[in-house]
A = this chain, B = another copy of it.
Amino acid sequence: MAKALPVSPLAQPLPELPPLAGVRFGATEAGIRYTGRTDLVMAEFAPGTTVAGVYTKSKCPGAPVDWCRAAMADGRARALVVNAGNANVFTGRAGFEATQANAADAARLVNCAATEVFLASTGVIGEVLPYQKISAALPGLYATLSADGWADAARGIMTTDTFPKAATRTAKIGETTVRIQGIAKGSGMVAPDMATMLSFVATDAKLPASVLQSFLTEGVNRSFNCITVDSDTSTSDMVLLFATGQAGNAEITDPASPTLAHFRAALDSLLLELALLVIRDGEGVTKVMHVVVTGATSDESAHKVAMAVANSPLVKTAVAGEDANWGRVVMAVGKCGEPANRDTLSVGIGGTWIAEGGTVVPDYDETPVVAHMRGKEIEITIDLGLANGTAQAWGCDLTHGYIDINGSYRS
């Protein structure tokens, strides 16, 4: 883990991240595992901030996930503490005690209840978190928190990430312009000893926690839950959404209100941008893959088909090899157990339909498909021809780089 990974060829520059009223961020070097880089991030939120969260479905979640789930109960947040280098997963009672101690540390600084402090950890599994290092570093870090700290925070939460990830949007709620801004980390869907997917999003809109939760759950279902690097799921994944209420809009409690439609669209768009940044930093990535499924018996069924294609090692290696191997797409559709009928199935790549009605299209000309496969963004289209269910998924290729990153001897 000492040697630096080459930056992803699909990296994107950090956008400008303006201040967001009611949020102050900062990062410092706590020396948890890495040296010579920041590894501890803190945020303070204005009094009255509401929060929503979506967490890993793992049955073996890390102690910080347990902590946040419990802390969410009253929907209020004042602080966030994130460390990189140690996931505090599978650490038993010591792991729970570490979360208690660091939440209390942050609560003292911010002058709030410990349950208003949210915690996240990523890094190695099964090693006790040296929480004392975090306790020692927090007062100094707190003193440096700044409305301009977003970029530092985006860098401070990285593990095997090769570039920092952030996105920003504005939206109208009635006459009020609000901002939504977030950071993310992730490069494997997870590599439990290093990577994991975390995202922290804040808005200055005034929204009750129930509305935030509704929007976040649905937005994550269409973004972070539609990406896959290697089908593996972290013990630490989480997406948190904080609303500071500083923008001054009139509070709306009905998530279906048309007044919130613009905000919701902006949030969805931001979540998808962050999710796609994770894919663009997939371990060993050289190409991203966008899978579009139509004609399924339901959206849920379409989602399973899309994810089966995006996860298939044989599809992923074909994309890596620039091989327009549509037979592997047929295989992945066929294996996933969802309703499919060979004789109504159509498969296209890069806008060219290749197979239809149970066989290859007459006079199929591979030329445009081969040209498309040489690009960096590969589009695979599947029409099941059964009903109206649709879904999209995003993945990446499977390359020697993935093996290098995950198969190397531990140092």
**Contact yes or no, B61 A334, CB < 8 A:** yes
Set B92, B95, B231, B400: member contacting A313, Cβ < 8 A: B231
- Expressed in whole angstroms, the Cα–Cα distance for A112 and B359 within the complex equals 31
Q: A232-B335, A331-B125 are in contact. Are A359 and B94 (CB under 8 A)?
A: yes
Interface size on A, residues (CB 8 A): 72
**Contact yes or no, A409 B90, CB < 8 A:** no
- Expressed in whole angstroms, the Cα–Cα distance for A345 and B397 within the complex equals 33
Nearest B residue to A234, CB-CB = B331
Stretch in A18-26, A136-144, A188-196, A217-225 with 4+ CB within 8 Å of B: A188-196
- Expressed in whole angstroms, the Cα–Cα distance for A30 and B235 within the complex equals 53
- A311-342 CB mask vs B (1 if < 8 Å, else 0) is 11110011011110111101111110111111
Nearest B residue to A237, CB-CB = B335
Stretch in A52-60, A179-187, A239-247 with 4+ CB within 8 Å of B: A52-60
- Expressed in whole angstroms, the Cα–Cα distance for A175 and B334 within the complex equals 46
- A333-362 CB mask vs B (1 if < 8 Å, else 0) is 111011111110100000000010111100
Q: A89-B327, A342-B60 are in contact. Are A334 and B235 (CB under 8 A)?
A: yes
**Contact yes or no, A325 B193, CB < 8 A:** yes
- Expressed in whole angstroms, the Cα–Cα distance for A61 and B335 within the complex equals 9
Interface of A is mostly: loop
- Expressed in whole angstroms, the Cα–Cα distance for A41 and B314 within the complex equals 27
**Contact yes or no, A126 B321, CB < 8 A:** no
Q: In the complex, which residues 187-240 of chain A have their Cβ closer than 8 Å to any Cβ of chain B?
A: 188, 190-193, 230-235
- Expressed in whole angstroms, the Cα–Cα distance for A400 and B399 within the complex equals 8
Min CB distance A369 to B, Å, is: 12
Q: Which residues on the B side are within 8 Å of A397 (C-beta)?
A: 407
**Contact yes or no, A330 B90, CB < 8 A:** yes
**Contact yes or no, A407 B327, CB < 8 A:** no
Q: In the complex, which residues 355-404 of chain A have their Cβ closer than 8 Å to any Cβ of chain B?
A: 355, 357-360, 397-400, 402-403
- A74-96 CB mask vs B (1 if < 8 Å, else 0) is 00000000000000011111110
**A408 within 8 A of partner (CB):** yes
**Contact yes or no, B58 A321, CB < 8 A:** no
Provide 6 A-B residue pairs closer than 8 Å at the C-beta atoms, listed in order of the A residue. Answer: A59-B339, A90-B358, A188-B314, A321-B409, A323-B408, A400-B400
Given A58-B334, A92-B343, A323-B407, 14 more A-B residue pairs with CB atoms under 8 Å apart are A59-B334, A59-B339, A60-B342, A60-B345, A90-B355, A126-B355, A192-B328, A231-B231, A231-B313, A233-B335, A235-B330, A313-B313, A318-B407, A320-B407
